[in-house]
Structure 1
Amino acid sequence: MRIWISPKLKLLSTEQLKHLNDTDSRTNFRADLLEYLKSYGRDLTQSTSSPLFEWINCLHSYDFRPIKVVLIASVSGRHVGESLNKFGHTRLGEVLRTCNSQIPSSWPVIGQFSSIGSLGLKPTDWFTTEWSSSLAGRGARGLRMIYPCVEDVRNSLEGYFAGGCLPYTKKTAEKQPWLCQFFYRWHAFEHSRCAPHIKSYTRISPDGQQIGWFLLTSANLSKAAWGAYEKSKTQLMIRSYELGVLFLPTNYKESAHSFEVLKNNAKYSQSPTDGLLPFPIPYELPPLKYQSNDEPWILDKPHSLPDIFGHIWEPS
């Protein structure tokens, strides 16, 4: 598991409260978080009896300047005009474009998730066009999607029971067999037998030594989470609420263009002595592509080969 915890934020002084905008992070984290929270509606955000109202007021009282990550959120609804690039995959694309990220086109995109939605009858319907364009600009040489195969689940610490947290359904999978060509195995050092529930996205160098950025998020691979264009790309439709944090090298060191991948899941050092920017990746790089006999885990598909506990999988 990977979680992000902010630095400990200090309470603002009375004088600082008079200049609230000067105490947000350079990434506008507080402003973006407040906008996300307020999107849940007036009943929840303006009622004094609502816990969310209390949280919103509390956020105004702290100094957010130590925060270096960028908030990437999804908000349910149709977003047009000035809101078109505020949420979902268009928000991520906008941030990556404005930060002038100098990532070679040879660096593939890696996605890693625990659920998959309906992406279209063809990869070009959304996956290799709209979605990948936001993550990779004019494109990346390869999209590598890490998702557990049946063997990963069968041999996991929980056996087939772990597959209950990987809700990719047969109905959805049968409509997009093309997706299998993009699948890679879940391998995570000593955690390889732990069924993943983490969701993350990044771009890596071909040798697996560097990453251009890293997004830790709640968003699975789905149009519902990331959004899909409507009305000739003038409108973005999102069906769910998601929240993630984006790590950019330049926010930690202005001259940096990439993070260095920590070797063999080594411990992270807050004060690297070699001047590099080490980053812990939750899986092994480069990822291993599915073999011809590998098949993605599908929640409602039965399996007669016993798992490590001798159980078979018979979905109800």
Structure 2
Amino acid sequence: MNKDTVTLKDILGDPLIAECWEFNYLHDIDFLMAAFDPDVRHLVKVHVVHGFWKREDPSRLALQEMASRHPNVTLHNAFLPEMFGTHHSKMMILIRHDDTAQIVIHTANMIIRDWTNMTQAAWLSPRLPLIKPPQQQDNSQDAAARIGSGAKFKIDFLNYLRAYDARRTTCKPIIDQLAKYDFSAIRGSLIASVPGRHKLNDASPTKWGWAAMQQALQAVPLTPSQSEVAIQISSIATLGPTDTWLKTTFFRALSGGAAPHPGLPSSSRPDFKIVFPTPDEIRKSLDGYASGGSIHTKTQSSQQAKQLQYLRPLFCHWANDSADGAELPDNDGNAPVREAGRKRAAPHIKTYIRYGGKSAQTIDWALVTSANLSKQAWGEAAGGAAGEMRVSSYELGVLVWPGLYAEDATMRGTFLTDSLAPGEVEEGKAAVALRIPYNLPLQRYGKGEVPWVATASHAEPDWMGQVWEHG
């Protein structure tokens, strides 16, 4: 169901685009260039930032070959100091001829399959104007550091770009340009990761990984009722044989919120669910087993088997239509299944959403990000060092919550469309729509069901008659 969705051409097809900085893990430069307006695609200054730092890497050589066909494309390889780190952020920065700039943070690799037959998401900033002369500026300092404000987003975003310049100049030209633009129209908190060791208590206003999430959530009011956090990802890394990191570091960071208003009970710790497809859901997806090449976890080693044991109670289906899955909760018998229309488009999207209220009708906060469930993405304690975290990869996401839009606003999920129905909005109250990519309520895995594993062989044919053999 593609109502209200955007294509790459919708984002890049405007002839007023003068310059594009494209950050990603995988790149098809011919596909990227085809999305620009045909009259100007040979004029747009295109910068491609990738993570293939080894000179003999086949992916780097393929990129260089593709870029050689486009004289207006410049390649930059990101500084990656961590052995197991990747340049996983997915973003475009657009500088336009009408003196505006736009930031697009999304979940798709820059390859055709990701933009067509898989479920993805994109956050598009408003068009950002150039800063007005000083005499027209609001010089109040109160808003500058407020979590969720455009001023704070700008500080964090430019600090993120500065991480690329740790060893050599990569992003300084775009940093210098963006410094001239007014970010005040942005509502949201940047949640980013950059590789390296980071002090948790340093003076920098910008935190990384789970610490960034923990900091931002201190500004987010929570529904004073039972709630759940749905972690929906396309990859689960090796988290350890016990759930120590998952519960004491990651879930703890995601459980926080602003102090409740006087007279309201404090919000309890949320329940956590992990949305991840099974082999059957991959078999039935639009590309069948082929889409499983983009979705990863492992269960083969003894450590991974132990991890599966503690994750199993948290696992929920992507498509929510498994004959072997648990019965759908009836939510007091009156909550219909809300159909998202995406169950056959395999999930490469990554969303973290805190639902509150009866039948998960309201949303406390939502994050769309490149970050999967991994220590490399979110960070872990570095060698037992107190107050220090180690991050391996570049990641990028945006956190939003209803209070950014109005003091008494509510945020509600929408299905099959980006808009709320008239009856879903209380008269005189602000309501914010959030497109949900999966059906609700969530269906837990049934007995014997396991997550999709791309490194295992799957003999049962997919809907196209293909089998999946892994050497």
Q: Same fold (TM over 0.5)?
A: yes
Q: Give unpaired runs (5+ residues) of structure 2.
A: 1-119, 257-266, 320-338
Please state if 1:12 is matched with 2:131: yes
Higher helix share: 1
The answer to whether structure 1 residue 155 and structure 2 residue 284 are counterparts is yes
**Structure 1 residue 107: Cα displacement:** 0.4
Task: Give the gaps of 5 or more residues in structure 1.
Answer: none
Note the alpha carbon deviations across 1:206-247, whole angstroms, 9 max, x for none.
Answer: 512111000011100011111112436511111111111000
State the match for 2:441 in structure 1: 286
**Count of residue pairs the alignment pairs up:** 307
**Structure 2 CA distance for aligned equivalents of residues 202 and 254 of structure 1:** 20
Q: CA deviation at 1:92?
A: 0.6
How many Å apart are 1:39 and its aligned residue? 1.1
Among 382, 386, 389, the residue aligned to 1:236: 389
Residue 183 (1) aligns with residue 321 (2): no
Q: What aligned pairs does 1:126-165 form with structure 2 within 5 A after superposition?
A: 126-137=245-256, 140-165=269-294
1:169 maps to 298
Partner of 1:41: 165
Deviation for aligned residue 1:94? 1.4
> Which structure has the highest strand share of the two?
2
Q: Which structure is larger by alpha-carbon Rg, 1 or 2?
A: 2
Which of the numbers 209, 212, 217 marks the counterpart of 1:96?
A: 217
| Per-residue deviation, 1:179 | 1.0
**Aligned counterparts of 2:179 and 2:389: Cα–Cα separation in 1:** 30
In structure 2, which of residues 401, 419, 423 is the aligned counterpart of residue 268 of structure 1?
419
Is structure 2 residue 368 aligned with structure 1 residue 216?
yes
Q: What's the counterpart of residue 459 of structure 2?
A: 304
Q: CA deviation at 1:139?
A: 6.1
CA contact (8 A) 2:239 2:246 kept: yes
Aligned-pair distance for 1:273?
7.9
Task: Note closer, same or farther for the CA distance 1:37–1:20 as it changes in structure 2 (3 Å cut).
Answer: farther
**Quick one: higher RCO (CA 8 Å, sep 6+), 1 or 2?**
1
Partners of 1:84 and 1:20 in 2: how far apart?
Answer: 19
Counterpart check, 1:197 vs 2:348 = yes
For the 8 Å contact 1:149–1:185, the answer to whether it is kept is yes
Aligned residue number for residue 330 of structure 2: none
Give the superposition deviation at 1:33.
0.3
What's 2:239 paired with?
A: 119
Kindly, what percent of the aligned residue pairs are identical?
34
Are the aligned partners of 2:194 and 2:393 in contact in 1 as well (CA < 8 Å)? yes
Report the CA distance shift for 1:105/1:39 in structure 2 as closer, same or farther (over 3 A).
farther
SS of aligned partner of 1:62? coil
Residue 191 of structure 2 aligns to a residue whose secondary structure is strand
1:129 counterpart SS class: helix
